[in-house]
Amino acid sequence: MSEELNEVGTNQDEVSAETPAVETPESKTFTQAEVDKLIADRIARANKKLDKFADYDDLKTKLSTFEQAEKERQEAEMTELEKLQAQLAEKDTKEQTLAQQLADLEKAVQNEKIRNAFNQIATSNQIAHLDDAFVLADLSAVTVEDGKVVGMEDAIQALVDNKPFLITKKQPKPIGESTNGNTERADKTAEQLLKDAAAKAKKSGRIEDRMAYASLQAELNK
């Protein structure tokens, strides 16, 4: 048994001597110069990357300044546009106001012409109470053309036909009453009155006295 164990031990020694020993890699060591170089390389690479963004703040500032200037420019343009729009709106308002004033003035002138024509024609048709008659008259067909009133005669005639109570009856002038409203003595004869009227007309030469004499003569010859 001892011999066998000794043989086994001998065999193991032979195997150990024949098998090469496995080398264990040792950790690589760096000198201080190598370490400094590695650090310097890494810093250089980092700085190179940072160089790409070195002007970022400057670009950001310039962009902000540009955007602010553009905003102010747009606001200035908008302000000018608003001023122009306000001026145009004011101009339109003034033009509309002026046009309305002209239309009102033209309407007032037309109304004045219509009223004057009404008073004149109504008076010639012996219509009394002109204000009331004007309200009652149908003037819808009366117009003003080229500054002249058209259709008033027909309107007055229709008013006379439909509202005869508006007509005032002309009172005959008493014999001997002159145009100035004085009345001669009632005891004078018609012949004496006519003689006096003729003498007055001859003496004064006034047209009124002559017309009074002619009117008295016409009344006496009826």
Do residues 181 and 217 share a domain? yes
Q: Are 107 and 130 in contact (CB under 8 A)?
A: no
Residue 164 lies in a domain: yes
- Please determine, for residue 154, whether its predicted confidence score (pLDDT) is greater than 90: yes
Neighbours of 156 (CB within 10 A): 23
Host domain of residue 196: 171-222
Residue 2 lies in a domain: no
Average pLDDT over residues 148-171: 84
Neighbours of 210 (CB within 10 A): 16
Do residues 130 and 75 share a domain? yes
* Predicted TM-score of the model (pTM): 0.40
Q: How many domains does the chain have?
A: 2
Residue where a domain stops, chosen among 154, 169, 184: 169
Contacts 24+ apart (CB under 8 A), 14-23: none
Reported as type and span, the H/E element at residue 73 is helix 56-124
Average pLDDT over residues 41-56: 70
DSSP string, 107-157: HHHHHHHHHHHHHHHHHHTTB--HHHHHHHS--TT-EEETTEEESHHHHHH
Average pLDDT over residues 74-101: 85
Q: List, for residues 163-209, the tens digit of each pLDDT value.
A: 888 887 555 455 444 444 444 444 456 677 777 878 887 787 777 77
Q: Are 185 and 155 in contact (CB under 8 A)?
A: no
- For the chain, what percent of residues have pLDDT higher than 70? 70
- pLDDT confidence of residue 169: 59
* Non-local CB neighbours of 219 within 8 Å, separated by 6+ positions: 173, 175
Do residues 148 and 216 share a domain? no
Average pLDDT over residues 21-48: 71
Do residues 190 and 102 share a domain? no
Length of the chain as a residue count: 222
**What pairing do the DSSP bridges indicate for beta strands 143-145 and 148-150?**
antiparallel
Do residues 65 and 133 share a domain? yes
Mean pLDDT, the chain, whole residue set: 75
Neighbours of 182 (CB within 10 A): 8
Average pLDDT over residues 17-38: 63
Do residues 145 and 210 share a domain? no
Average pLDDT over residues 133-161: 90
Q: How far apart are CA 130 and CA 118, in angstroms?
A: 9
Average pLDDT over residues 104-117: 90
